[in-house]
Each structure stands twice: as C-alpha cells, then as structure tokens.
Structure 1
C-alpha cells in the first residue's frame, strides 16, 4: 500500500505537496498531472502530514492513519500572540494539589495533544505511564526513596550533591517532598536508541505541561522520579518501562490548591555581537 493517497477528483495539480514534502516522496511525471509517490522513495515517508497540511482541497490522506482527513484551521482562529505569551509566562510549578482526582482519561487527552509536539524525523517515539491515584503515586515515591536510601548508604557523591539524606528523612517524617502528594503522575519514556529520543521526550512533556495549564490543571516536573529512573531498574519496573527504554520526562498532575495572580519577572537574555553572530546570554539565577 502506498503511504500517500491522492484523490484525483479533488487535486488541483498545483504541486504544493510535491514541493513541501521534506523527503521528496511525491513527484509529478508531467506538468499538470496528479502527483504520485516516487517508486523509489515510498519507504521514505515519515507520515509528517506536511502534504495534507498544505493541500487546499483536502485531496490527500495517509495510509498510516487509515484515510482520516486533515482538520482544517483558519489563521484567525489561532490565539493572539499576547494570549500565547500569557499562557507561557503564567505557567507555574504546582506543588500543592486539591484532593479532587484527575483521571487517566483526562490525562490521556493531554497525551494525545502532546503527540503533535515535534520529534526527530517525526519518529514520535514517546510512550507514557500514567498513575491516576494518590495511592499509586505514593507507592512510586516509596520506590524512589528506597533508591535514595541506597545511594546514601553507598556514600555515592550524587547523594551528597542532591541532599538525598535530607529528602529521605523528610519522607520518613511524612513530608512528601518527592511526589508532593500529587493525585497523579504521567511519566514519558522512549527507546534509548533512536534519532533524538531524549529531546523528543522532553519536548512532548513540555507540550503536555502547557496543554494542562491551558485546561486549568496544575503540573510540576517530577525530577526525582526521572533521576531515580536513570539509575534504578526497580523504578523502571514499577513504571512498566521495558528494557532498552528510558524515562526522560515526568509531570505530577492535579487541580491546583493555590491560585497565582501575577507573573514574576525574569532576566532578559543580553545580546552580544561577536564576529557577526549574536550571542544571547542568559543571566544566571542567583540564590
């Protein structure tokens, strides 16, 4: 089956899809004819959908998506730049959540949105593990703390650098500084081998974070979970992450128990021109 299907009755023969395809999968045998899949490049198609997105008549479908049509959008329906800027700037890391649950179905909707995040060669390698009850999240925290205790026992330099002994002690006293008593967590993982699996996972996680914020959910990056997953097979096993894969992003999710009312300042990157290049240097955050 050919990866790209073009409806000849709808095609305007404008060759927009031919010129837009990043891997030259489409071609025209003669000017003014319907484009076809290049016989030697059919296997190159990465299902990015650029051909569908640029076609003004909806003449193109991809076999990988069972002939589903592209969803039209109008530029005037996109949010204004100020709205996008406001969404980004108003995002906060939420560490206090209401006891109101957030379901796996609701998180699944966010995961589907995150599938539209860019990935290297459109590989879309990211999978997710979702825990949607406080009990399961707490159990994950226990596994993470177990790893931390072992790191402290071994006197691993990482334990001192990250104050793991203090985190373990706080956990034992009932202060959940690991999982923040979150009602749910979504952990993103991908194969270790690939084009850009780590970057793809982080970008997908950030995309989900912004989608969650737009819907009124609160999120916080689960850094200790990702750190433990990098060293502890038991954490990977608890999360159901198969061998040869690694977690690179994780978010606690829930309904915020606090309401932020303002956007704090950030240092602006300072531009410096060096040999015809502009270097925008971020001013380090000071403690």
Structure 2
C-alpha cells in the first residue's frame, strides 16, 4: 500500500483493486458514461480489470504488467480507479482507463502520477484503445478535471475524434427495400449493402448488435462515383435499427485537421441524418 496526502491534509491510500470495490468503481464509471452507451455490469468491470478486449474473450494483445488500483479515502470511500500496463511491442506504457470524482481534479492527478511512477521512464499513452468500459479517448468536455490533470502532468493530445449521438424515437419502424441486410462474421453486427438493380455496389454500412436498445454505427463506405447517395445509405441504417427496436445510435468520426475536407463531409452527412456532436474524444501521450 502507498499512502498519499490529498487536499486539506486528508489521508488517502492507493491500493490494488479488490472485489469489494466493484460497486463503488461502477458508480464512478457510470458517472462518466457518454449518452448512447449502455450501462455497465459487474461482469464487464471484471473483464476490464482483467484487460479483456471489448470485442472478444481474449486479453488485450501484447500487454504486460497489467495493474488496476483504487484511490481510497481514510473512511474507505473509493474516490477513483485506474488500470495500466506495458506494451512489449514498443515498450510504451498504456493507461487503459481512469475514473474518479470529476469535480476533484487532484484525484485524477494522483492516479496519473501513480501510473507514471509504476510505469517508469517511458512513453505513456492514455486511453489510446477502446476498452470494455468505453471507446478510446477522453471526453474532454464531459471530463474537464481529468483533461486539466493530464495537461498538468505533461500529456498532450495526439488523436481526436468526434462522438456523435442520435435518438431514433422520431422514426417509424419501416424499412425501404433498397438495402440488403446480412449478418457480419467476426464483429457481431449487421452489414447493410446498397446496390444498383444490376448488382453494382453503391455502398455499405456496418452497425453493431444493439445492447439495451443502443448500438454504434461503425462505418459508412460509398463507391467514389456514388458519394451523393450517402444520405440514402445512412437513412437505411437508421430505418433498419428503428425497425428492430433500437432507440439510440452513436458514431465516432475523426476530428478533421487542415486539408481534410472528407472528414467535414462525413460530419455533414451524419448531421443531416440527425446526429449531434456530444463531445470530442482525445488520446493523450507523454514522452520521457
């Protein structure tokens, strides 16, 4: 156990995660949950602590020294939790997930400093990969305390995505006979294929299987000459999901930089279909 000193001289403790911490840690994770993501279960938290991949039963590839610790007050209250490991492929550290009372910025900083001390002098990436708990990246608007703590600890944003959300309550449950719907192999979900009458491919989209009435639009792809039909394909996706009782759908798009007009076009396509940008997801990196 490592004892630290929090604000106002209150004694706190950083220690390994224990099964009895589950309920308190789940509360912290739930407070950071983005709109459109399903609630988390104890089993899913256990998978995250074990480093399980979000898309399958196996552990995150190439991780060593996986460690999950909680930050507890003198009264035993769990104030925060984080999980980190080392990637043998490049020797970099990776902070897989971190959750704490967001209004108390010192908590995020204490967890970050603990992770950096345990990982040693190496490059460290924060929230670079999706986990069972959340997609990759920190929601910087929803979690300003953690964002400021990262910046104070010398981390800088390296990759950014837009997190979009769309409710389907306003859609009728009807499908237009324009797209074929097939089950996906590998990643569970549906593939919607839009074709001409002669069978020529126009485009396709991939959506995940719904959980608690929510799902994610993984990607939309169109043949170069048929970009103008993107709105039809996206409407097909939403109609298909609404027909199967899905109430909410999310999408993650790269945030554009200069000279990337295609990314602005992708946002315009989703916005026209009723998606709203909820937050931006940033991955952070600190080099020694």
Q: Is the TM value for this pair above 0.5? A: no
TM score, norm. by length of structure 2: 0.26
Q: Decide which structure has greater helix share.
A: 1
Q: Decide which structure has greater strand share.
A: 2
Larger radius of gyration: 1
